[in-house]
């Protein structure tokens, strides 16, 4: 056979075949994105279901407002206000003011809880984790003294 009669395949396929491959590729990409989205949604729901229930803030923190005295040393927590979300405007003194870095209230079941973090000279992250006892109108819990790295059981009584 002569060279002129030799058949060669067309390097450029018809336009309809190229369009079909593009549609197939686009479909594969859309399908892959959909699968990733479904798996991601499922994963986030599964993780939330496995998480321990968090203390939920809510209304009913009015009883925390006021000045509270720790009788064993004259320490005072003053709770000026509590937002519905649990954020508190609080002050602490011993007897001089100590900077309150964070103050939050929360509800854990029926219990009203209180967290206060101190950040100041000699108070590098000391914390109070307290619970309100309605029967005795007291705050009871644990004080973590960061400098000594020790925990102490403490009670605060309401100042009238």
Quote the pLDDT of residue 158: 97
State the Cα–Cα distance between residues 160 and 68, nearest whole angstrom. 9
Q: Do the domain assignments include residue 3?
A: no
8 inside domain: no
pLDDT of residue 26: 73
In sequence order, what are the residues at sequence separation of 6 or more whose Cβ sits closer than 8 angstroms to the Cβ of residue 16?
none
Mean per-residue pLDDT, 10-27: 67
Domains contained in the chain, number = 2
pLDDT at residue 140 greater than cutoff 60: yes
**Same domain flag for 125 and 145:** yes
Domain interval for residue 28? 14-50
Return the structure tokens found at 102.
């964070």
pLDDT at position 52: 42
Give the model confidence (pLDDT) of 47-78 as tens digits.
544 444 444 444 579 999 999 999 998 999 99
**Does residue 123 share a domain with residue 101?**
yes
Residue 88, pLDDT score: 96
Query: Residue 49's pLDDT is what?
Result: 43
Mean pLDDT, range 119-135, rounded to an integer:
95
Residues of the chain above pLDDT 70, percent: 69
What CATH number is associated with residue 109? 2.40.128.30
Residue with token string 């309150």:
100
Same-domain check for residues 31 and 73: no
Closest CA to 104 of 44, 64, 154: 64
135 shares its domain with 107: yes
Q: Take residue 39 and report the two structure tokens written for it.
A: 């798996």
Q: What is the mean pLDDT of residues 121-125?
A: 93
- pTM above 0.95? no
């Amino acid at each position: 056979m002569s060279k002129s009669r030799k058949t060669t395949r067309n390097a450029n396929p018809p336009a309809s075949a190229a369009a079909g491959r593009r549609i197939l590729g686009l479909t594969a990409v859309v399908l892959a994105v959909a699968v990733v989205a479904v798996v991601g949604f499922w994963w986030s729901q599964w993780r939330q279901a496995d998480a321990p229930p968090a203390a939920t803030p809510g209304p009913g923190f009015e009883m925390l407002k006021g000045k509270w005295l720790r009788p064993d040393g004259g320490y005072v927590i003053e709770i000026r206000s509590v937002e519905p979300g649990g954020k508190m405007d609080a002050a602490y003194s011993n007897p001089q003011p100590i900077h309150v870095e964070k103050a939050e209230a929360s509800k854990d079941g029926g219990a009203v809880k209180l967290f206060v973090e101190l950040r100041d000279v000699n108070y590098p992250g000391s914390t109070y984790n307290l619970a309100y006892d309605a029967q005795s109108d007291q705050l009871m819990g644990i004080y973590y003294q960061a400098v000594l790295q020790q925990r102490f059981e403490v009670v605060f009584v309401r100042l009238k």
